[in-house]
């Protein structure tokens, strides 16, 4: 296994884990690079330097989870494909030997909050790295090995680290997808655009290769599975027809429908939410302006999926759509994003961990623009903002009646789709699962017919 030296005990009177030396030159060299994480200097990080010195510190100075987190971030960022499985294996073996012995502040059979935070960040780093490299494929053997490692780590950390189960529950099915079924989807994406088949025949052929969700098998009381279904609809719709506005609406509805309040923030508006890495954000901004493409749009949408409060992602997706002459999709993204932001009076005050605002001035100006604002869109938006208020004050029947009235009046497909999602949301609130399933079936069928 790579990085074997990290698992070798430190000899001498401080056997087997050593002691932190945060005043020493080795840690100073590490910290010099760590200070650039998420800052404007992120692009200047010397990843090779960080990897080399972190490995040396963990091997010779101290078994410290904080430094292991830095090391993991660096190796996964530097070369995810080569290092992902090796780092997961290292993490598992490190836990076996040093979970309670290692720093910060070792103790018997308990983890203090400093160690909990470091381990939680390692798990977050693993998930973020995977999300940022979703094009990577795994063999069946690699999938089996990862499943075993995830199970081992879960057994090691269960009861100590809160996010371990939720992260692995998200990762394992996605790794399986990238082992078994992504080949057919990849083949579809490489089809020449000028094939002589009719659009209808092509759509049928593509649909056979896609995993259309059977919504009657979805547990609508499980928020996570419901979200996964909406995101799956978005992915499938987009793979069939990238211009379909249903894809962009469904993704954001799945991402945002269960959010009823913003994360807790301090007096300065700082929350525990992590911002999108500065280097990735810089790349997206530059490429949207210089080289917009469907591939770039897909990358931005995947990052949006993992960062619900990163509304600049929706702004960049909309700009990319606009550049690709997908005006309806761009406007749909703006409308749905505006509706989400307007739900929270303090949204403009909220900030990520690094102090970056949830809502930048550029995005705020974009949301206030009305490039294509027919009266019916204004009316629908006003009503959408009042739905929860009406539901709380007048009840389910009143809000359902209002939605049905709006559906009869409007012709804009963007607003129709969003209203249908809202209708489903209230059926779920009332635990009318059969009716909600029927509405979802109709929405998916409509999507297939449009495509």
pLDDT in tens, 200-232: 333 333 343 444 445 445 555 566 777 777 787
Residue 239: the pLDDT is 74
Tokens of 34: 């760590």
Residue 88 lies in a domain: yes
Side-chain half-sphere exposure of 333, counting CA atoms within 13 A: 29
Burial class (CB in 10 A: 0-12, 13-18, 19+), 417: buried
Provide the pLDDT for residue 372: 43
Q: Tell whether 143 and 258 lie within a shared domain.
A: no
Residue 93 has pLDDT above 90, yes or no: yes
Q: Is 28 found in the same domain as 164?
A: yes
- What is the DSSP secondary-structure string of 309-322? T-HHHHHHHHHHHH
172 and 311 belong to one structural domain: no
Query: Domain span at residue 130?
Result: 4-180
Number of domains in the chain: 2
**Of 180, 212, 239, which residue constitutes the final position of a domain?**
180
Q: 364 and 237, same structural domain?
A: yes
Q: In this structure, is residue 197 part of a structural domain?
A: no
Domain contains 292? yes
Average of per-residue pLDDT across 381-394: 66
Contact status, residue 106 vs residue 114, Cβ threshold 8 Å: no
Identify whether 193 is part of a domain.
no
Q: Is 194 part of any domain?
A: no
Q: What is the overall mean pLDDT for the chain?
A: 79
Taking residues 341-357, report their average pLDDT. 91
Residue 268, pLDDT > 60, answer yes
Same domain, 170 and 219: no
Q: Is residue 25 part of a domain?
A: yes
Query: Are 285 and 340 members of one domain?
Result: yes
- Residue 280: which residues within 8 A CB-CB, separation 6 or more? 132, 303
- Joined tokens for residue 342: 């307007």
CA distance 302 to 131: 7
Cα(410)–Cα(63) distance, integer angstroms? 63
State whether 19 and 146 are in the same domain.
yes
243 and 387 co-located in one domain: yes
* pLDDT interval class at 256 (50, 70, 90): confident
Using CA atoms, how far residue 44 sits from 65, 265, 414, in Å, is 24, 30, 42
């Amino acid at each position: 296994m790579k990085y074997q030296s990290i698992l070798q005990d430190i000899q001498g009177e401080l056997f087997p884990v050593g002691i932190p030396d945060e005043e020493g030159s080795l840690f100073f060299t590490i910290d010099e690079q760590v200070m650039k994480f998420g800052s404007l200097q992120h692009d200047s990080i010397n990843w090779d330097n960080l990897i080399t010195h972190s490995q040396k510190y963990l091997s010779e100075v101290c078994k410290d989870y904080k430094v292991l987190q830095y090391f993991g971030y660096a190796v996964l960022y530097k070369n995810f494909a080569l290092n992902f499985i090796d780092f997961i294996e290292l993490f598992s073996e490190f836990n076996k030997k040093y979970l309670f012995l290692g720093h910060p502040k070792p103790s018997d059979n308990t983890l203090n909050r400093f160690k909990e935070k470091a381990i939680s960040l390692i798990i977050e780093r693993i998930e973020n790295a995977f999300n940022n490299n979703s094009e990577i494929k795994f063999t069946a053997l690699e999938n089996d090995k990862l499943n075993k490692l995830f199970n081992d780590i879960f057994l090691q950390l269960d009861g100590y680290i809160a996010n371990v189960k939720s992260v692995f529950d998200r990762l394992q099915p996605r790794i399986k997808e990238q082992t078994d079924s992504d080949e057919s989807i990849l083949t579809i994406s490489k089809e020449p655009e000028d094939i002589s088949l009719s659009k209808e025949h092509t759509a049928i052929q593509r649909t056979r290769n896609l995993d259309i969700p059977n919504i009657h098998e979805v547990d609508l009381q499980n928020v996570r599975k419901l979200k996964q279904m909406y995101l799956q609809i978005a992915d499938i719709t987009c793979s069939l027809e990238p211009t379909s506005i249903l894809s962009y609406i469904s993704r954001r509805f799945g991402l945002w429908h269960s959010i009823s309040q913003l994360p807790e923030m301090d007096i300065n508006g700082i929350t525990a939410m992590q911002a999108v890495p500065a280097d990735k954000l810089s790349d997206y901004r530059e490429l949207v302006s210089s080289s917009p493409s469907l591939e770039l749009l897909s990358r931005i949408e995947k990052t949006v999926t993992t960062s619900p409060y990163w509304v600049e992602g929706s702004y960049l997706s909309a700009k990319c759509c606009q550049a690709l002459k997908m005006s309806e999709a761009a406007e749909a993204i703006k409308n749905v994003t505006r509706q989400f932001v307007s739900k929270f009076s303090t949204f403009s005050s909220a900030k990520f961990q690094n102090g970056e605002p949830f809502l930048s001035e550029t995005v705020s100006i974009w949301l206030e623009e009305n490039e294509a604002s027919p009266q019916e869109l204004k009316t629908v938006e006003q009503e959408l903002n009042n739905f929860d208020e009406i539901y709380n004050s007048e009840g389910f029947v009143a809000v359902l009646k209002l939605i049905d009235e709006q559906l009869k009046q409007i012709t804009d497909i963007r607003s129709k789709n969003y209203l249908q999602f809202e209708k489903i949301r209230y059926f779920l609130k009332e635990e009318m699962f059969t009716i909600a399933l029927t509405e979802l079936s109709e929405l998916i069928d409509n999507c297939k017919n449009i495509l």
